[in-house]
Amino acid sequence: MIDTLGPIIPESDDKPHEECGIVGAYVPGESIARTTFFGLFALQHRGQESAGIATSEGDEIHLKAKMGLVSQVFREETIAGLPGHLGIGHTRYSTMGGSKEYNAQPLIAEGQRGQIAVGHNGNVINAAALRVEMAEEFGSTFEKTSDTEVIAELFAKAPGNDWFEVSSYAMRRLKGAYSLAIMTKDKLIAVRDPLGIRPLCLGSLNGGWVVASETAALDNLGAEFVRELENGETLVIDENGVTSKIWSGARKAHAMCVFEQIYFARPDSILNGELAYETRQRLGAEVYREHPVDADIVVGIPDSSTPHAVGLAAAAKIPYAEAIIRNRYVGRTFIEPDQKARAQGVQTKFNVMRGVVEGKRLLVVDDSIVRSTTITRVINMLRHAGAAEVHVRVASPPIKSTCHFGVDMATLSELIAANMELDEITKYIGADSLAYLSVDGLLRAVRAPKNSYCTGCFTGNYPIPVQLEMNKMGFETITAD
């Protein structure tokens, strides 16, 4: 029997929001807009607010960027209007600057080396200060409200005899997270920040080259994965092939966002040399080793917690069961359920199968808890469906601080682990027991020494000093003033 009682669960209500996805491609003889489209399509999970593609056939940059999903923004006729063998693409979730069409990327900037288009994943924490400095130094004016405009303007106006000198200059001035796909009318440039906070990889395709936030985008294009970019590395790709340089100030060890491993990246992407799916299985196994409990079945909250649950079940030698079914077609909806629908307990996202959980002791696995809305409602649904006990294991540590490097994490006052003790949270979400993975366990599972990942939202220790409680709309305020 299907249980449909319980409260409504809005889409994406209780997960950190991914930042952005970027793609760049230089493939002579190919319609690059089409290639870029399919690369972006594979990165849709990294941003659903806007999508854009810029292309060039060697003479000028053509651009299309709008609010909406990749498949909504681009149609056959749009792709046909973007000629060329060189291009970049971007999917955006606004981490700095409002959700406005004028902030959709790629952004265009103009300088002494001509026009450039820029797609950015990450967050530059000194963007506000740079705006003021660049207005004085270069006479720059800013019309948009995102940190990407600052990056684009800096790369357009920076001194330098070649793109490596320009990139080194920019790296000296930018602070924070930035993986970049940049194009001129005849070159593709890829940049990963000196800490390597956001991922970026290189692939080869039909005699040309592709860069993308994740290897899953390369797979989607049939490209061959070559390697991940190093910290502080710049690639320049043109008719001479790929040339690379690493900025002398780059940190040797990565400070890659550990949340990419836990949740953001697709499970079929390779991060720091390992398949995210396998890393997630180890995270699940590790939290069970730290906090074992007797149960009849292991249940993952689909889809993001499934790999963690599979890994935990194997370590615990407890059967894994698909007890919660996720509506695969849940996306953005502008239709709010009315009071009648609420009263009927209409579920938009999850449904629990009573026959699987009734009378059983459940070990429920979640990859992370932000506000606790989802886990609370899932436990409620499981109890409605007759679960005898609900034990929760979280395959990441408690989130106690906000992110400053490109992830919308909710405010400090909304983070449940920043405001309640473990026993209070257990009671609040209605679990029989609750345990989180330790920070040491997390680092063991991702097979990393302590300083090779950013763990800021768990530990409060960031790879570079940050101002606490940053405002995503900071530039909107400056512009309004």
Give the catalytic positions in this structure: 20
Q: Which stretch binds ligand SF4 (CB under 6 A): 60-68, 257-265, 362-370, 373-381?
A: 257-265
From the CB of 454, what's the least distance to ligand SF4, in Å? 3
Question: Would you say 16 or 84 has its CB closer to ligand SF4?
Answer: 16
Q: Which region among 210-218, 299-307, 333-341, 403-411 touches ligand SF4 (by CB under 6 A)?
A: 403-411
Question: Binding ligand SF4 by CB under 6 A: which of 164, 178, 405, 475?
Answer: 405
**Whole-angstrom distance, CA of residue 309 vs CA of residue 292:** 13
User: How far is CA 37 from its chain centroid?
Assistant: 18
Q: Interface with ligand SF4 includes 309 (CB under 6 A)?
A: no
Q: Which amino acid would we find at residue 7?
A: P
Using the Cα atoms of residue 289, residue 294, residue 298 and residue 301 in order, give the sign of their dihedral.
negative
Q: How far is the CB of 299 from ligand SF4 (least distance, A)?
A: 26
State the number of CA atoms in the 13 A half-sphere of 271 facing the CB: 32
| Contacts (CB under 6 A) with ligand SF4, residues 131-190 | none
**Which residues are within 8 A (CB) of 201 and not within 5 positions of it... i.e. 6 or more apart?**
211, 212, 213, 214, 215, 218, 225, 226, 227, 228, 229, 270
Q: Which of residues 258-297 bind ligand SF4 (CB under 6 A)?
A: 258-259
Q: Give residues 50-89 in contact with ligand SF4 (rule: CB under 6 A).
A: none
Of 39-47, 95-103, 253-261, 416-424, the segment contacting ligand SF4 by CB under 6 A is 253-261
Name the segment binding ligand SF4 (CB under 6 A); options: 27-35, 265-273, 377-385, 455-463. Answer: 455-463
Q: Determine which residue in the list 197, 218, 313, 442 makes contact with ligand SF4, applying CB under 6 A.
A: 197
Q: How far is the CB of 91 from ligand SF4 (least distance, A)?
A: 18
Q: How far apart are CA 148 and CA 208, in angstroms?
A: 27
Pick 36 or 279: Cβ nearer ligand SF4: 279
| Cα Dmax for the chain | 71
State the nearest-atom distance from the C-beta of 93 to ligand SF4, in Å. 13
Let me know if 80 is exposed, middle or buried by CB neighbors in 10 A (0-12, 13-18, 19+): exposed
Beta-carbon neighbour count of residue 28 at 10 Å? 11
The two tokens of residue 198 are 């956001």
| Residues 12 and 326 sit within 8 Å (Cβ to Cβ) | no
By the rule CB under 6 A, 407 interacts with ligand SF4: yes
Residues in contact with ligand SF4, total (CB under 6 A)?
Answer: 11
Cα angle 263, 331, 431 (rounded to 5 degrees) comes to: 55
Q: Which span (53-61, 307-315, 384-392, 454-462) binds ligand SF4, by CB under 6 A?
A: 454-462
Closest CA to 364 of 349, 352, 348, 355: 352
Local structure of residue 321 (DSSP, 8 states): -
Q: What is the DSSP letter of 42?
A: T
Query: Site for ligand SF4 (CB under 6 A): which residue of 97, 196, 284, 456?
Result: 456
Give me the least distance between CB of 372 and ligand SF4, in Å please. 18
Judged by beta carbon, residue 171 or residue 457, the one nearer ligand SF4 is 457
304-332: string of b/e by CB count within 10 Å (b at 16+)? bbbbbbbbbbebbebebbebbeeeeeeee
**403 touching ligand SF4, by CB under 6 A:** yes
Give the interface with ligand SF4 as residue ranges (CB under 6 A). Answer: 197, 257-259, 403, 405, 407, 454-457
